[in-house]
Amino acid sequence: MSLLEIKNLSKIYQKRIALNSITLNLVSGKVYGLLGPNGSGKTTLMKIIANLMQPSSGEILIDGKAPSINSRNIVAYMPTINYLYKSMTLTQIGLFFSDFFNDFNMEDYFKLLEEMELPKTLKVSALSSGMSSKLRVATTMSRNAKIIMLDEPLNGIDLITRDCIIKTIVDNIKNNSTVIISSHMVEQIEPILDEAILINSGHIEFFGDVEVLREQQGLSVANKYREVFGS
């Protein structure tokens, strides 16, 4: 059974079409790569799933229900920007999340902070952009959410931090959680993907199993990406 069903979903900003009649079915326990160039509609789609934004038309069902306050309990969304309160320490951030999300695991959170070498007593305002990315990943992955969405988790960070983030994501994917990762860095995230969704100008250009793509078409996701988006 699909955990996330999207039917003919569209989103229009004033006169610009961000999503154009998208239909997708995502199941539990898989890692999906939402890939596409800037402005292709990746973030918009994630925000609609996270109930941060309303679609212009179409239907979306999360675990059989429309997005609502309740669906936020099972959807963990990590945006691209630093959205955490800057005046808080990392411990306070954990307490904030555990106050509001029943599925937030404080032990996991502290473990992740340790693995990522992030001091608990540090304030969010004192973090570098790489450290800030790690923290956002840690807060999101510490939830036992059914759907975990990471929007551009590898943006603007060095190779070592990138590897650390990818390792953290892989190590912390919970059983039956559906993970959706958006990124431009196709080659970096390809090894952890089960399925790839290539999106361009609000259209789904390709949606399929990564293994099948390799076996049947002899293409890696990166090659498929080049084929779809290349000039």
Outline where the chain has alpha helix (H).
Answer: 42-49, 90-100, 106-115, 129-141, 159-171, 186-189, 210-212, 221-229
Exposure b/e, 13-25, CB count within 10 A at least 16 = b? eeeeebbbebebe
User: Could you say which of 3, 40, 47, 105 contacts other proteins (CB under 8 A)?
Assistant: 47
Tell me how crowded residue 161 is: count the other CB atoms within 10 A of its CB: 18
Structure-token pair, residue 205: 């250009």
- Residues of span 154-173 touching other proteins by CB under 8 A: none
State the nearest-atom distance from the C-beta of 186 to other proteins, in Å: 25
- Residues of span 76-115 touching other proteins by CB under 8 A: 77, 79, 81-85, 87, 96, 99-101
User: Could you say which of 23, 25, 57, 128 contacts other proteins (CB under 8 A)?
Assistant: 57
Binding status of residue 123 toward other proteins by CB under 8 A = no
User: What is the C-alpha to C-alpha distance for residues 198 and 193, in angstroms, rounded to an integer?
Assistant: 13
Contact string (CB under 8 A) for other proteins, positions 12-41, x = contact:
-xx---------------------------
| CB closer to other proteins out of 24 and 124 | 124
> 3-state class of 76 per DSSP?
strand
Tell me how crowded residue 61 is: count the other CB atoms within 10 A of its CB: 16
| CB closer to other proteins out of 73 and 220 | 73
> Residues in the site for other proteins, rule: CB under 8 A?
13-14, 47, 50-54, 56-57, 69-70, 72-73, 77, 79, 81-85, 87, 96, 99-101
